[in-house]
Amino acid sequence: MAIAGVAFMILFAILGIVLVYAERKISAFFQLRLGPMRVGKWGTAQTIADVIKLLLKEPHINKDADKFLFNLAPFVIMISAFLAMAALPFAKGLQALDFDIGIFYISAMSSIGVVGILLAGWSSNNKYSLIGAMRAGAQIISYELSVGLSLLTIVVLTGSLQLSTIVESQADGWWIFRGHIPAAIAFLIFLIASTAETNRGPFDMAEAESELTAGFHTEYSGMKFAFFFLAEFANMFIVAAIGATVFLGGWMPFHIPAFAGFNEVMDFIPPIVWFFGKTSFLIFMMMWFRWTFPRLRIDQLLTLEWKYLLPISLVNILFMAFLSLMGWHF
């Protein structure tokens, strides 16, 4: 378990460095510019330089802040991300925890992060931080419903909450293709709702710089700020990995029935490459959203969830239950 813990810590560090660099380069690509180019070859060492800068910065604290909760909040968010990542199946047998309630466990652990956000906003004794935390709390709790219902749509098909079982059930085809229209709708809702749940643009009202400076982590500096920054990218990786696992077959290769030669070629690609390839595709989609759509107002953001996504999810899960009962899926 100690080795597994160290492996996850190393994975967290690598994810932070790689995803921050990828975000900068992808945003530059969409805005027809180059992005970071000075530190290292093509700017590859820019994130490492930022890490060193954050390590050397002095950790300031507001004199009227609740010091204990202020220092605790970043750790709550990081622990939440660590616990959620432990259940992800990276390849066959390459999984720290294989619970029979895997999806339920990940949903429960990832929802703990909102406690850290609320603690950070309240303990900072800053009105902008508090407003940002309240917005983030309302947003995350609201969109968790749609994320959960979209995942349950596939659970209805597989009959299991265990992530390894869900992946193995897609050996003959991924559920996004085999589950007909309800699976495609559930995937689309999952993509929108999970982007909102991770406070990513265009749903980043909790960190609206033009209104709230930096939102709930305005008062943080040094490594405590880095923890919030790292947790955002870790959570983005986690939701993308869940989407890849449940809808896109996880580490299963892409197979087409009756094309034996093509399927054999696909089998040569290692499972872990399939997993990280699919996860990277979904992360790219989430980054694409950020630079395509304008930021929503808080009322528009909550209207989208409660008036549109949630009712569609409820109808969709009933539709999927009917298809599953009749055996009309592939």
DSSP symbols for 146-209:
HHHHHHHHHHHHHS---HHHHHHTTTTS-HHHHTHHHHHHHHHHHHHHHHHHTT-TTS-GGG-H
> Is 165:158 a contact under the CB 8 Å cutoff?
yes
CA dist list (Å): 263 to 257, 258, 268, 270: 8, 9, 9, 13
**Can you give the pTM of this predicted structure?**
0.89
Dist CA 197 CA 110 (whole Å):
10
Q: What is the token pair recorded at 76?
A: 């709550």
Complete DSSP assignment for 273-308: HHHHHHHHHHHHHHHHHHTTSPPPPHHHHHHIIIII
Phi/psi for 245 (5° steps) reads -70, -45
Task: Give the contacts of 265 (CB within 8 A, at least 6 positions apart).
Answer: none
Please report the pLDDT score of residue 318 as a whole number: 92
What is residue 136's three-state secondary structure?
Answer: helix
Q: Shortest CA distance to 252 belongs to which of 281, 273, 274?
A: 274
Phi/psi for 258 (5° steps) reads 75, 5
Q: Given the structure tokens 């085999």, which residue do they identify? A: 178
Dist CA 167 CA 289 (whole Å):
27
> Is 152:309 a contact under the CB 8 Å cutoff?
no
What is residue 268's three-state secondary structure?
Answer: coil
Please report the pLDDT score of residue 330 as a whole number: 61
Please report the pLDDT score of residue 180 as a whole number: 83
Please report the pLDDT score of residue 160 as a whole number: 86
Please report the pLDDT score of residue 204 as a whole number: 77
Per-10-residue mean pLDDT, the chain, length 330: 87 88 91 87 88 85 86 90 89 84 89 88 86 85 90 89 88 83 92 88 70 74 85 90 91 80 83 92 91 84 90 92 79
> Helix crossing, 67-85 with 113-123: angle to 10°?
160
